[in-house]
Amino acid sequence: MFNLILFGPPGSGKGTQSEKLISLYGFKHLSTGDILRNEIKNGTALGLEAKMLMDRGILVPDAVVIGMIGKALEDNPGANGFLFDGFPRTNAQAEALDTLLAEKNMSINVVLALQVSKTELIKRLLNRGLTSGRTDDVNEAVIGSRIEEYERKTAAVADYYKKFDKVVYIPGEGSVNEIFDKLTSEIGKRH
């Protein structure tokens, strides 16, 4: 069992690298962004509430995403490991994750934190907005709010895991394959 968090600001490559990591290692991919977009697609009450916040670049309430992750852990008892993508995004989410994992005698092995400049983040997200159909990617003001939410609420999550010596910073600019090699090299040292 190996559990990792892929951490970084919006547009840092979490979703992109997660896809490659799960196909190499067979981890169960838990992306709170994907789960929320699925709720929106299905028109659920939760999806409607989440859409209003996501369209403004604001984080969804902790209780909602913690509940989603708790359910996903229950639904996947046989997984050989979990890749958390876009979660936790606040210290409250990080503490709740530790509690959920401890109940199952599990813990986080490593937090891989992608570092990308703000200019590059904005460029990537606007570029994705040309084709993704994601309403939160088309407007530069919304992208700005997402980056501000990251700086105000999420960046401190790395400090939470630093206390347990679990954070490794990875330069997140360069080709997708170059960054993937750096990630797999760090996983290889611990897996």
Q: How far apart are CB 142 and ligand B4P at their closest, in Å?
A: 9
Collect all residues with Cβ–Cβ distance below 8 Å to 85 and sequence separation of at least 6: 6, 14, 15, 18, 29, 30, 31, 32, 33, 34
Place of tokens 């040292």: 189
Among 65, 73, 113, 167, binds ligand B4P (CB under 6 A): 65
Q: What are phi and psi of 116, to 5 degrees?
A: -140, 140
Interaction between residue 33 and ligand B4P (CB under 6 A):
yes
Interaction between residue 24 and ligand B4P (CB under 6 A):
no
User: Annotated catalytic residue: which of 28, 37, 128, 153?
Assistant: 128
Interaction between residue 129 and ligand B4P (CB under 6 A):
no
CA distance 69 to 103: 14
Interaction between residue 21 and ligand B4P (CB under 6 A):
no
CA distance 97 to 78: 18
Closest C-alpha to 112, from 34, 178, 38, 18: 18
Beta bridge partners of 93: none
Interaction between residue 51 and ligand B4P (CB under 6 A):
no
Interaction between residue 97 and ligand B4P (CB under 6 A):
no
- Residue 141 is encoded by which pair of tokens? 């003001």
Active-site residue flag, 134: yes
Interaction between residue 11 and ligand B4P (CB under 6 A):
yes
Q: How far apart are CB 79 and ligand B4P at their closest, in Å?
A: 19
Among 89, 110, 111, 112, binds ligand B4P (CB under 6 A): 89
Active-site residue flag, 146: yes
- Are the CB atoms for 172 and 8 separated by under 8 Å? yes
Interaction between residue 124 and ligand B4P (CB under 6 A):
yes
- Are the CB atoms for 166 and 111 separated by under 8 Å? yes
Span near ligand B4P by CB under 6 A; candidates 13-21, 40-48, 98-106, 163-171 = 13-21
Active-site residue flag, 128: yes
Interface positions with ligand B4P (CB under 6 A): 10-16, 32-33, 36, 53-54, 57-60, 65, 86-87, 89, 93, 124-125, 127-128, 136, 146, 176, 179
